[in-house]
Amino acid sequence: MKISVIRDDITRQEVDAIVNAANESLLGGGGMDGTIHRAAGPELKEECKTLDGCPTGEARVTKGYKLPTDFVIHTVGPVWKGGGQNEEQLLASCYHESLKKADERKLTSVAFPNISTGVYGFPKRKAAEVALKAVKEYREQNKTHIEKLVFVCFDEENYTIYNELLKED
Ligand code: AR6
């Protein structure tokens, strides 16, 4: 599993699955979630309605509809409340659970956004450290089908942080 970083819009990624930073209702929202729903078309929301939501730290899978990706893995990141509410463990769980869902379907390429670092307010550097640690742990502990994992950063700050952390690796 090769880990890389790009600066782009996640809805443009031609991978087997993109991960959506959703909320527990799974019925859409603002930020990237809204962009994904607009790009996928209304059928995505129809399928999401059948899922009955998703608890924070877990993940659910739908088809990608009009997106250039076969699947969307919807995961719900924690809202940052200062760090004492299990936020880091819950964020790590989003990455683990999303990778598990991709592996269950034998997918080979997955694009991740910077979960929780927008509206949910998770400090970006800490979130990037948690994300990288989580995916590397997953890679060490599992026999994965995933060959390509790309972190798609939308804002310059996240892109800079991920480049720094990946260089240190
Ligand atoms: N492609 C990739 N990354 C993006 C895009 C995009 N098109 N648009 C924004 N980002 P956020 P959260 C980055 O707020 O913090 C929604 O309303 C953005 O720069 O989308 O997990 C949901 O329904 C930021 O770094 O997600 C939830 O209610 C990152 O994506 C809530 O927001 C995450 O920003 C989830 O909040």
Give tens-digit pLDDT for 31-48. Answer: 999 999 999 999 999 999
Confirm or reject: Cβ of 30 under 6 Å from ligand 1.
yes
The pLDDT value recorded for residue 137 is 98
If you measure from the C-alpha of residue 115 to the centroid of ligand 1, how many angstroms do you get, rounded to a whole number? Answer: 7
**98-102: average pLDDT:** 98
Top mutation candidate among 24, 26, 32, 76 for ligand 1, by most atoms within 8 Å of CB: 32
Confirm or reject: Cβ of 166 under 6 Å from ligand 1.
no
Residue ranges of domains in the chain, CATH in brackets: 2-168 (3.40.220.10)
In the chain, how many H helices and how many E strands?
5, 6
pLDDT digits (tens, 9 = 90+) for 42-79: 999 999 999 999 999 999 999 999 999 999 999 999 99
Distance CA 68, CA 64 (A): 7
How far CA 42 is from CA of 3, 39, 49, in Å, comes to 32, 9, 11
Question: Binning pLDDT at 50, 70 and 90, where does residue 87 land?
Answer: very high
The pLDDT value recorded for residue 168 is 77
CB 110 within 8 A of CB 99: yes
